[in-house]
């Protein structure tokens, strides 16, 4: 998923299991997931993902701006 969003692994704690290869060490999964979730890398990418998923598309931003300007146009004449 991170590659699809254009997010690359960053920092010293960027374990390839969470970015590239997938997770296979299920014996220690709970411990490893907790450590990863607390890492700076996870926190940073969680914020980036939230921003990415909540951002409006360029098209919708342009449409909204155009509608706003068209609504104001009669007032300026």
Within-domain flag for 37:
yes
Give exposure, 40-50, as e/b (b: 16+ Cβ within 10 Å): ebbeebeeeee
Q: What is the mean pLDDT of residues 51-68?
A: 85
CA distance 59 to 65: 10
- 10-44 per-position pLDDT tens digit: 555 566 766 667 778 889 889 888 888 888 888 88
Within-domain flag for 5:
no
Within-domain flag for 60:
yes
Within-domain flag for 1:
no
Within-domain flag for 6:
no
Domains of the chain: total: 1
- Residue numbers of the domain that contains 69: 16-76
Query: Model's pTM, two decimal places?
Result: 0.48
């Amino acid at each position: 998923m991170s590659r699809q969003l254009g997010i690359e692994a960053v920092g010293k704690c960027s374990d390839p299991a969470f970015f590239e290869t997938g997770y296979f060490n299920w014996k220690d999964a709970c411990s490893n997931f907790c450590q990863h979730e607390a890492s700076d890398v996870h926190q940073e990418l969680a914020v980036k993902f939230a921003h990415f998923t909540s951002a409006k598309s360029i098209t919708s931003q342009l449409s909204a701006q155009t509608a706003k300007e068209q609504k104001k146009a009669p007032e300026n004449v």
